[in-house]
Amino acid sequence: MFQVALIAVPNLTYWRSELSMANSVQSISAAAAGTVRLGDLTVNRMGYGAMRITGKGVWGPPADKAAALETLRRAVELGVNLIDTADSYGPGVSEELIAEALHPYPPGLVIATKGGWERVGPGQWTHNASPKHLEAAVEGSLRRLKLDRIDVYQLHVPDPAVSFDASMETLARQRQEGKIRHIALSNVALEHVERARKIVPIVSVQNRYSFADREWDYLLDYCAKEGIAFMPWAPLGQNREANTALDAAAKEVGATAHQVALAWLLQRAPVTLPIPGTSSVAHVEENIAAAALRLPEPVFARLSAVTPPPASLRG
Would you name the residues annotated as active-site residues? 89
180: exposed, middle or buried (Cβ count in 10 Å: 0-12, 13-18, 19+): buried
Q: Are 189 and 153 in contact (CB under 8 A)?
A: no
3-state helix, strand, coil in the chain (%, to 5): 40, 20, 40
**Ramachandran category for residue 92: left, alpha or beta (phi over 0 → left; psi -120 to 50 → alpha):** left
Please state, in angstroms and as integers, the Cα–Cα distance from residue 238 to each residue in 220, 271, 300, following that order.
19, 22, 17
Q: H or E segment at 266?
A: helix 257-268
Q: Quote the strand ranges of the chain, DSSP E.
A: 35-38, 41-44, 48-49, 82-84, 110-115, 117-121, 124-127, 150-155, 180-186, 202-208, 229-233
Q: Are strands 202-208 and 180-186 parallel, antiparallel or unpaired?
A: parallel
